[in-house]
């Protein structure tokens, strides 16, 4: 078992269906995809619905504290929960988004732009759901050049042969 | 002995792993890449990375706040 590394046996593969496009939810798929690629997995990301925001040429994910009961921002030396009335106040979500970005920077967490670039450089395959591209009236030229357009069948063709399939 | 060094100090998950993967490409097979990291999670992560990719984790140690990994480039 000890000498028997998985890499010797077979190249592994992973897919993630990416359905969310907010600043906080953008991180898990790109972190997992880049790490898996670094660990020799063939990785495919399938972007659909709000996940499409993450494959626009201009990456500018928004942030909201609404409905996020578990969110506690480290502030004033403690943790402050974000009550649901807050995002009704104009500017609060933008402020919370800016705070999240500065927190990310302060902690030397990779920027989303860098992670997405790393995903491209490590040959992560990216498919944009054609139906939702049309539904939301995105233009092909709004999306990254590396993106393929495909549908559910394209996803399943890869997923059926993959060792890990996730939905985020 | 040739020195291949990656300074990943101050970086957080998953950057030390991503940079190590990239750095290993420049290390000839059989030679060792030394990685410095300050991310406590990297101790478990480098063990997992090596186990998965087939590179050999020759040594994993700690020097104050800095974790030091010696990775022998054995995988293709």
Q: Are the C-beta atoms of residues A15 and A46 closer than 8 Å to each other?
A: yes
**Active-site residue flag, B13:** yes
* Domain range list for chain A: 6-63+110-167
CA A117 to chain CA mean position, Å: 12
For domain B4-72, which architecture applies? 2-Layer Sandwich (3.30)
Fold of A6-63+110-167: Hypothetical Protein Ychn; Chain: A, (3.40.1260)
What is the distance in angstroms between the Cα of B31 and the nearest Cα belonging to chain A? 19
* For testing contact with chain B, the best of A3, A35, A106 (most B CBs within 10 A): A35
Contact A38 B21 (CB under 8 A): yes
Can you give the pLDDT at residue A2? 47
Calculate Rg over the CA atoms of chain B.
Answer: 11
Whether B14 sits inside 8 A of A39 (CB atoms) is no
| Model pLDDT for residues B13-71, shown as the tens digit of each residue | 899 999 999 999 999 999 999 999 999 999 999 999 999 999 999 999 999 999 999 99
Report domain extents, chain B. 4-72
A40 in B contact zone (CB under 8 Å): yes
Q: How far is A99 from chain B (nearest CA, A)?
A: 18
Interface test with A, best of B11, B17, B18, B49 (most A CBs within 10 A): B18
pLDDT digits (tens, 9 = 90+) for A44-83: 999 999 999 999 999 888 888 777 777 887 888 888 887 7
H or E element at residue B16 = helix B15-24
């Amino acid at each position: 078992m000890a000498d028997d590394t998985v890499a010797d046996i077979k190249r592994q593969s992973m897919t993630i269906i990416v359905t969310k496009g907010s600043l906080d939810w953008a991180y898990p798929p790109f972190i997992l995809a880049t790490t898996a690629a670094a660990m020799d997995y063939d990785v495919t990301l399938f972007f659909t619905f709000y996940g499409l925001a993450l494959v626009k040429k201009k990456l500018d994910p928004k942030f909201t504290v609404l409905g996020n009961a578990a969110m506690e921002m480290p502030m004033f030396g403690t943790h402050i929960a974000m009550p649901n009335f807050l995002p009704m106040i104009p500017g609060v979500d933008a402020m919370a988004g800016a705070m999240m970005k500065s927190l990310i920077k302060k902690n030397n967490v990779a920027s989303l732009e860098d992670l997405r670039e790393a995903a491209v450089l490590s040959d992560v395959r990216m498919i944009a759901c054609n139906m939702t591209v049309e539904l939301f009236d995105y233009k092909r030229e709004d999306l990254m050049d590396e993106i393929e357009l495909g549908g559910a069948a394209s996803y399943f063709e890869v997923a059926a042969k993959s060792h890990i399939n996730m939905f985020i | 002995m040739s020195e291949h060094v990656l300074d990943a100090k101050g970086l957080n998950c998953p950057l030390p792993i991503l940079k190590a993967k990239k750095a290993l490409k420049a290390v000839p097979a059989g030679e060792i890449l030394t990685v410095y990291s300050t991310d406590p999670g990297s101790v478990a992560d480098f063990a997992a990375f090596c186990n998965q990719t087939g590179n050999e984790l020759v040594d994993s140690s700690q020097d104050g706040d800095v974790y030091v990994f010696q990775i022998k480039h054995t995988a293709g």
